[in-house]
Amino acid sequence: MLKRFGEYSLRISVLGAGAWGTALAIHLGKLHPTKLWARNSGHVYGMKKAQSNPLYLGDFKFPPLLEISDDFDATISDTDLIVCALPSSGFRQILKSINEINQTALVIWANKGLEQGSAKLPHEIALEELGDPTETNRHWGVVSGPSFAAELVRSLPTALTLASTSKETTTFAANIFHHDNLRVYTSQDVVGASVGGALKNVIAIASGISDGMGFGNNARAALITRGLAEISRFGFHLGANQETFSGLAGSGDLVLTCTGEYSRNREVGIQLAKGRPLEVILKNLGHVAEGVYTATEVMRRIDNIDIEMPITSEVNNVIQLGKSPKDAVLDLLGRSIKTES
C-alpha cells in the first residue's frame, strides 16, 4: 500500500544521467531526497565535481537534495520511487536488476522506444520482468509527453502525462512530479502512452527529412497529421485508448519532436536529407536517437498484421535499405488516393 507524503520522507532514484534523466533528477530533487545513477564512474566524478552535468546538460546546477552515484545497489536498495531514464536497449536488463534488489519500489520509466529484436514496448517488458500488477500488487507506469530537458531545467512551463497500472499509483506518482514549472496530467492508458512516445520518434525522422529537403510547412503538417494516424492505428491494435493520441503523450509529443530545435530524431532526418551516412550522423549526434531503431522494430511487429503504416515503412527503407530520401518522399506522394482515416 502506498503511503502519503506526510507519513515519511520520500526517497527517489533516477537511473540514467543523460539529458532527460538529469533534468528529471534536478526537478525531483528540488523537493525530495533524490539519487541520480550513472554507470560511468568518470562521468559521475565529473558531475560531483561540477555539481552539474556538463556532458549532457550544460552548467545547470544540482539542488542540495540531489546525490550522484555509480553504485547501483546502494542507489535503489532503500528507495520508494525508481525513475528509469535509460535508452530502450537497456530497459529489460535494468528491470531485472531492480527486481533482484528492490521488489517494492514503484517503477516509472521515461524511455521511449521498442526493444531491439523483440519489438516489444516498455509496458510489455515491464509485465514480463516485474510481473502483472493484479497478481503481484507491484505497480509501474510511464511518464511521457512533449518535453525537452533543456527547457525543463530552465524552469520553462512543461506538461506531461503520467500513466500507470492503478488509479491510486497514478495519483501518487503524479503528485511527486507535479510542482514548480511541471504540470502533470494522469492516465491509466499505459499502452497508449508507451506507443505515442515510441512511434513519434519515427515520424520525427520523416519530418526532418522533409525539412532538410526544403519541402516547407505544408509537407511537415501533412506528415505530422498522417503520422498521427499511423500511431493511432498501431496503438488501437494493441488496445490503447484513442483519446490518448489526441493528448500530451500523443499529438503533443509528436508535434514537439517533429518541429523542435532540440529534437534528435528530427536532426537525424535533416542530416539524411543532406546525404550524410547514418553511422556518421549518429556518431556526431552524441545522444541516442530512438527512432532509428524503432522504425525497424515497428515494421517487424506489423509484418503479419494488416496495419497500413507507409511513413514508418519509408523511414525504415531509408535507414535500413539505403533508399534515397528523395525517392522515399516521391513514393509517398505517388500512392493511390485513400479515404482519410
Which of 120, 167, 200, 323 is flagged as catalytic?
200
Interatomic CA distance for residues 130 and 247, integer angstroms: 27
Q: Give Dmax (Cα) for the chain.
A: 62
Interatomic CA distance for residues 248 and 254, integer angstroms: 9
Interatomic CA distance for residues 229 and 234, integer angstroms: 9
Interatomic CA distance for residues 33 and 25, integer angstroms: 10
Angle at 64 between CA 163 and CA 50, to 5 degrees: 105
pTM of the full structure = 0.94
pLDDT at position 9:
73
pLDDT at position 338:
83
Question: Mean pLDDT, the chain, as a whole number?
Answer: 94
pLDDT at position 1:
39
**Among 3.30.390.10, 3.40.50.720, 3.40.50.300, 3.30.70.20, what is the CATH number of 8-188?**
3.40.50.720
User: For 3-22, how does the pLDDT look when each residue is reduced to its tens digit (9 = 90+)?
Assistant: 444 445 799 999 999 999 99
Q: Express as a percent the part of the chain with pLDDT over 70.
A: 98
For the CA atoms of the chain, what is the radius of gyration? 20
Mean pLDDT of 77-86: 96
Cell 527547457 belongs to: 151
Q: What residues does CATH 1.10.1040.10 cover in the chain?
A: 192-333
Would you say 48 and 68 are in contact if contact means Cβ atoms under 8 Å apart? Answer: yes
pLDDT class for 32, splitting at 50, 70, 90?
A: very high
pLDDT at position 180:
96
Q: Is the pLDDT of residue 306 over 90?
A: no
pLDDT at position 165:
87
Mean pLDDT of 61-76: 97
Q: Is the pLDDT of residue 170 over 70?
A: yes
Mean pLDDT of 169-185: 97
Mean pLDDT of 157-181: 96
- 200 catalytic? Reply is yes
pLDDT at position 17:
97
Q: What residues does CATH 3.40.50.720 cover in the chain?
A: 8-188
pLDDT at position 137:
84
* CATH architecture type of domain 192-333: Orthogonal Bundle (1.10)
